[in-house]
Chains A and B, each alone.
Chain A
Amino acid sequence: MNAAAERLALSEPGGSFTAAFAWAFSRDLRLTMRHPGETLLVVAFFVLVASLFPLGVGAEPQLLQRIGPGVIWVCALLAAFLSLPGMFASDYADGSLEQMTLSPHPMSGWAMGKIAAHWFATGLPLTVLSPLLGLQYGLGGDTLLALAAALVIGTPVLSLLGAACTALTLGARGGGMLLALLALPLFVPVLVFGAGAAEAQASGLSAAPHLSILAAGLLVALVGLPPAVCAAVRIAMD
């Protein structure tokens, strides 16, 4: 062993939220980059399913405009759901989650970092693509804007809710089915107000009330769900 084997020092003995957040966010995004296939599949699923509806129900402009926002929201919700199991499963399987739990940093730091990375890799691409898909349904400019605005506020809520549900199903047999039973009902309010925003805009009303409720939901989720994620991870470790 040579001289370089000198020990390094702990930079922040007490740990810090921001350091943990940055660590988890950059690490998860790097891992996503190494395997872009998974993210691309989620996005491809979203685009394909949203494009199947106009083919299935026929090219009747009024009908398409009527169902467009709802269909796009359901597709986004299912696509976000598809990406959930990967959020903690591999870290649980290879022992990384143990290491994270035992790090001196606060758990909520890396948990939030992971959730943010999940949103960055799924919610954000879905939001960016949604106006393009909306064009297939003949939605107007204002409606497309309301749709994207609702998605940009709503998809982080999906990531947060999904993280709590995924963490709860860690180590459970048949976790996938259980996850669907847990997460999909919780997604309903997000779907209702998210799709409602674009529909209100399309029918000449303001999307603002729906967006405000969604934003309020996001704030509640930001405060309430990270502790739930941490508690669920701790239970999974025990």
Chain B
Amino acid sequence: MSARLAARDLACSRGPATLFRAISFDVAAGEWIAVRGPNGSGKTTLLRCIAGLTRADRGEVLWDGESTRAAASRFRASLLYSGHLPGIKDDLSAEENVQSALALRGVAAPEGAIRSALADVGLEKRRRLPARRLSAGQRRRIGLARLILDPAPLWALDEPLTALDAEGERLFGRLLERHLATGGLALLATHHDLAPAPARELRIGA
């Protein structure tokens, strides 16, 4: 199955301000799109619109040709969204956070797989520490471990490189490369230039 995401004529306003309008794009399997724009231009809102958290004023999002509102549950099963707030619980360990996030998405992960994913992101020794005792970058790496294990074909990630060091950025680049190579697609709001170049850039605002 080759997955495909399309947006048609999306528009969204916050109060009196129009954030964006007439946004249309297509992403095919193996491609990623960079959402770029100055601060406050609506990159986050666009991602939230596509994920279905925020209701767009106009337009629709199509996943495999079906409206994501009509087939919400099927779309959500294919979507891995991560916003500014990554949904990491301070009181749970890195291991428990990954396990819990995967279980919520309906993915049953064996302990060994979680452990090796955490080793891949450099958290093996700290996997049992409560997340509150990890640094901002290490908490981001918990999110990377999720990216390794989650089978979702569509990533919608908001500033995934925030707080990551150079090695973390390279790791993310490798994960993205592998994701695209296995037929995944991604929508990333980021200011960084990543190793696999984006298929297109979506400029909003300004």
With a CB–CB cut-off of 8 A, which chain A residues contact B84? 95
Residue pair A30, B92 in contact (C-beta under 8 Å): yes
Residue pair A4, B112 in contact (C-beta under 8 Å): yes
User: Given A27-B100, A94-B85, A104-B77, A12–B90 Cβ distance below 8 Å?
Assistant: no
Whole-angstrom CA separation of A10 from B51 in the bound complex: 19
B interface residues (Cβ-Cβ under 8 A, vs A) = 51-55, 73-74, 76-77, 79, 81, 83-92, 96, 100-109, 112-113, 116-117, 120, 130, 148-151, 174-175, 178, 182
Q: How large is the interface on A (under 10, 10 to 19, 20 to 34, 35 or more residues)?
A: 35 or more
Contacting B at CB under 8 A, from A1-48, are 1-2, 4-16, 19-20, 23, 27, 30-31, 34-35
- A206: Cβ under 8 A from any B Cβ: no
User: Given A4-B113, A5-B120, A8-B151, A101–B106 Cβ distance below 8 Å?
Assistant: no
Whole-angstrom CA separation of A12 from B182 in the bound complex: 21
Nearest CB of chain A from residue B112's CB, rounded to whole Å: 7
Chain B residue with Cβ nearest A34: B91
**Total of A-B residue pairs, C-beta within 8 Å:** 120
- A237: Cβ under 8 A from any B Cβ: yes
With a CB–CB cut-off of 8 A, which chain B residues contact A104? 73-74, 76-77, 105-106
With a CB–CB cut-off of 8 A, which chain B residues contact A102? 51-53, 76, 79, 81
Whole-angstrom CA separation of A93 from B175 in the bound complex: 28
Residue pair A14, B53 in contact (C-beta under 8 Å): no
Whole-angstrom CA separation of A9 from B152 in the bound complex: 9
With a CB–CB cut-off of 8 A, which chain B residues contact A14? 73-74, 77
- A212: Cβ under 8 A from any B Cβ: no
Whole-angstrom CA separation of A80 from B192 in the bound complex: 48
Nearest CB of chain B from residue A39's CB, rounded to whole Å: 14
With a CB–CB cut-off of 8 A, which chain B residues contact A1? 120, 148, 174-175, 178
Residue pair B182, A23 in contact (C-beta under 8 Å): no
Whole-angstrom CA separation of A44 from B84 in the bound complex: 37
